[in-house]
Structure 1
């Protein structure tokens, strides 16, 4: 179950307090998971660019235009993914909010009624009922 907005704010306040108290320890703990995940994504994207380039080369040798087009699409998509991921990698001492460490998953699974009940429950928690 994801954290409520209030809980996320409290967690971020605790993270800022930890960073203010011991910045070396906080930076060692904080960004490693996100940095590792994004670097792995960049590595896979670079491998995809190379595979797309190989597909283009094979399409040229085999005389297949469809392989060239597919290889070009793979290269463009993987290069875009690599660029986006590389851009998001935090610096080693940068404070990373907790919301960026966890992948975003919206509670969209379930019926309309379940989503409305969840929304009502969040509203009651937020308003303090």
Structure 2
């Protein structure tokens, strides 16, 4: 649904205010998708895994040092892919973002405690309702 003229003007005013207030942040946001670099690294990692696997198989059949080199390339590609997977896909780790209460701890059990999944919390509330 397209924006009305009034909404477009408001958006332009907000953009100008952002550029005036924090030009460095505005240029960072304006550059486009921030996940593009991570996606590219993920693709390179997948490619390296495939190339390393092929070199590993050829090295295992022909010349064993070539197989070791293939393994190292494959391992490097896997590490590159794993390190960039979260940023490339936008996946969020459980407990990484603070909940609606503003904290990431579960029921005040300390900073290392993990929040339970919603299903488990709802089941626990249901059980407590009949226990009381």
Shorter-chain TM-score: what band?
0.3 to 0.5
TM-score, reference length from structure 2: 0.44
Higher relative contact order (CA 8 A, sep 6+): 1
TM-score, reference length from structure 1: 0.45
Greater gyration radius: 2
